[in-house]
A and B are shown apart, each in its own frame.
Chain A
Amino acid sequence: EIVLTQSPGTLSLSPGERATLSCRASQSANTNLAWYQQRPGQAPRLLIYEASKRATGIPARFSGSGSGTDFTLTISSLEPEDFAVYYCQETINWITFGPGTKVDIK
């Protein structure tokens, strides 16, 4: 089983700032990694799949990169609606999710 670690646990930023979220896998996931956004009281929303491909309707300010064991989700300029929890998910083994990174308003 691949274990995913996300850092930081919480990221406090202001609107307009750049957010960089990390996801590390305990063994290689190749590029079989997805990112989700979850706002309070809502279901998760797919942002990125296969490490770097934006899902349908996702704004260009969201980008994903990485392969193997180290992955990054970048939000180039935070909008008010981007303050949420972000999860990574691997799909090369059994499907597992990371513990999440909360992006909150500074």
Chain B
Amino acid sequence: QVELQESGPGLVKPSQTLSLTCTVSGASMRIGSHYWSWIRQAAGKSLEWIGRIYTTGSTTYNPSLTSRVSLSVDTSKNQFSLRLTSATATDTAVYYCARGGGWPHWAFDLWGRGTLVTVSS
């Protein structure tokens, strides 16, 4: 079955760049016309969609984060990545990668387990 796994530093200093990678296993990312997304959740809060990428490299970002976020994809490694610049304490959250978020599969049907990223000096 298809599985997603997030990886990256759990601690980032303020003003630095938060970088995470999601590895997709069990199937090629290029099969099935899926978008691939990042979603985050601060402690005790709801979910916030960060952005999505297609295997062609086409991206769409949440307007509230667009100036600081970039997504990339490496289909040869079956991975996609998140970079969030100028991190602040408000970026502290559990970060999830997920499949979905674009036509025709708008709902997120597969999720990674999530990784906690803390922004602190």
The A-contacting residues of B in range 3-38, CB under 8 angstroms, are 37
Residues B106 and A91 in contact, CB atoms below 8 Å apart: yes
* Known interface pairs A87-B47, A95-B101; A46-B114 also in contact (CB < 8 Å): no
CB of A97 within 8 A of CB of B47, answer yes
- The answer to whether A44 touches B107 (Cβ under 8 A) is no
* Chain B positions 78-121 with a Cβ under 8 Å from a chain A Cβ: 96, 101, 106-109, 111-114
In residues 37-87 of chain A, which contact B (Cβ within 8 Å)? Answer: 42-46, 49-50, 55-56, 87
Contact A94:B63 (CB < 8 A) given known A87-B46, A100-B46: yes
Sort chain A's interface into a size bin.
Answer: 20 to 34
Question: Do residues B106 and A98 form an inter-chain contact, with CB atoms below 8 A?
Answer: no
Query: Interface extent on B, as a size class?
Result: 10 to 19
User: Is A99 an interface residue, CB under 8 A from the partner?
Assistant: yes
Q: Tell me if A14 counts as interface (CB < 8 A to partner B).
A: no
> Contact at A91–B112, with CB atoms within 8 Å?
no
Query: Is B75 part of the binding interface, using a Cβ–Cβ cutoff of 8 Å?
Result: no
CB proximity of A81 to chain B, nearest CB, Å? 17
A32 at the interface (CB under 8 A from B): yes
Q: Chain B residues with Cβ under 8 A from A36's Cβ?
A: 47, 108
Known: A43-B96, A46-B108, A91-B106. A97 touches B113 (CB 8 A): no
Question: Which residues of A approach B to under 8 Å, CB–CB?
Answer: 1, 32, 34, 36, 42-46, 49-50, 55-56, 87, 89, 91, 94-100
Beyond A50-B107, A89-B47, A89-B107, 5 extra complex contacts between A and B, CB < 8 Å: A46-B109, A49-B106, A56-B109, A97-B48, A100-B46
